[in-house]
Structure 1
């Protein structure tokens, strides 16, 4: 019984101490900076820089909302893997941006149907490397 407690404690300690970090070959943190005077939401986009699906990101503002003139981190076990296996013809990743006032007042089905986004940006790994893994809006 004592061995089980020690093993469980060790597993909880190791998983509890793990945190996201960036290394030259594996980026787990992507910084999104909002240089505009309005609050925005961001989300991964499809290969062409469009809205990926109709998941309502406004229900989790703590993850997707970036306040005016602020930055927020996006997390992934490996953005390099996300880029490589994005399903795009060429390895890349895109992010789309939305006006927070629109997302918080209009049902997301409508936002999705009418493609009501502020814009999008598409990046290769090399481009993100040159940007120090920071995406800015606008």
Structure 2
């Protein structure tokens, strides 16, 4: 029993020290800024800059909502791996939604009619030049 407690304590200590960070070859943080006068939601899009799936992001505003003139960090173990996994070319896209629409219309309707404010598609080189900060609009 004592060994189990030591092992569990060690695992909790090691995982508790984990911190997301960016290195030149592995980016784990993207900063997304909302420079508009309205609240928005964001989500990673597909390779063509369209809505990826019909997951209702308004159900978790603490993750996907950005208030007017604020910024939020999005985290991933590796955005470079995300690029390689989802798209043939190394690119990453984000789609943006009006918060008022997402909070009043069922998301399956938003998804069906592609009711987004817009999208942005970035290559790794573009993200490097932007210091991994995406700004809406």
- TM-score interval, smaller chain: over 0.9
Matched-pair contact (CA < 8 Å) for 1:30–1:74: yes
Write out aligned runs for 1:26-105 (5 A). Answer: 26-86=26-86, 88-105=87-104
Separation in 2, partners of 1:108, 1:20: 30
Separation in 1, partners of 2:99, 2:69: 14
Extract structure 1 runs of 4+ deviating beyond 2 A: 1-4
SS of the residue aligned with 1:85?
Answer: helix
**TM-score, normalised by the number of residues in structure 2:** 0.97
Write out aligned runs for 1:113-132 (5 A). Answer: 113-132=112-131
SS of the residue aligned with 2:12?
Answer: helix
Separation in 1, partners of 2:107, 2:136: 21
Separation in 2, partners of 1:90, 1:21: 24
Structure 2, unmatched stretches of 5+, are none
Structure 1, unmatched stretches of 5+, are none
- Structure 1 stretch 126-135 or stretch 18-27: which is displaced more? 18-27
Report how far residue 25 of structure 1 moved: 1.3
- Residue deviations 1:51-106 (CA, integer Å, cap 9, x gap): 111110000000000000000000100001111111x2312110000000000000
Report how far residue 7 of structure 1 moved: 1.4
**TM-score, normalised by the number of residues in structure 1:** 0.96
How many residues are aligned here? 137
